[in-house]
A and B are shown apart, each in its own frame.
Chain A
């Protein structure tokens, strides 16, 4: 699981059935405190977190947990937005997001 910022979205009509009706968001891994990008932008499914562009989110990057969230036995999904971050704190630092 990693912290990322929602930097955009993708629309695609012809896609795998499991992706039908799902929001396809682009998430860029960032350092939670500084917001500095620290990874390659990836496509993640927004399940129910209602995240939008600019939000800092929790992204899950592991197949079986994704399928658990989606409630399916098998499927080509590995990256999913598991939640929107309100505040981040640790080692004396603190950051409130909205």
Chain B
């Protein structure tokens, strides 16, 4: 599981049926070292990585929150009805302690 910051949300009406009713988040990936640094000194810095990714929200994460997500087949097992998805946010980070 990897760390990321929620930087936005995706609204889509025309989509695959099993995605209906799921919140789709836009994430900026972070390394755990970056997450540890950002969270230890206040925690409001948008990461500069150009890469961003889409994840389904399983825990009610909001914008600008720091989260961790699981990828591949296990992502759809975060939900009862196993929607089609590759990433799922499964936790909201309170704190990170890392060397």
What is the CB-to-nearest-CB distance from A58 to chain B, in angstroms, rounded to a whole number? 18
Please determine whether A76 and B32 come into contact, CB atoms closer than 8 angstroms. Answer: no
**Complex: how many Å from CA A24 to CA B45?**
24
Taking a contact as CB atoms closer than 8 A, the residue among A7, A13, A16, A76 that contacts B98 in the complex is: A7
**Residues in B whose Cβ lies below 8 Å from that of A60:** none
Closest-by-CB residue of A relative to B73 is A63
Whether, in the assembled complex, B96 has its beta carbon less than 8 Å from a beta carbon of chain A, the answer is yes
Judge whether B1 and A9 touch: CB under 8 Å: no
CB proximity to A under 8 Å, residues B1-47: 1-3, 31-33, 36
Known contacts A43-B2, A76-B88, A78-B72; is-contact A16 B78 (Cβ 8 Å): yes
- What are 15 of the A-B contact pairs (CB < 8 Å)? A8-B32, A10-B91, A10-B97, A12-B92, A13-B94, A15-B59, A16-B58, A16-B78, A24-B91, A41-B31, A41-B33, A42-B32, A63-B74, A63-B77, A76-B70
Chain B residues packing against A (C-beta within 8 Å): 1-3, 31-33, 36, 58-60, 68, 70-75, 77-78, 82, 88, 90-99
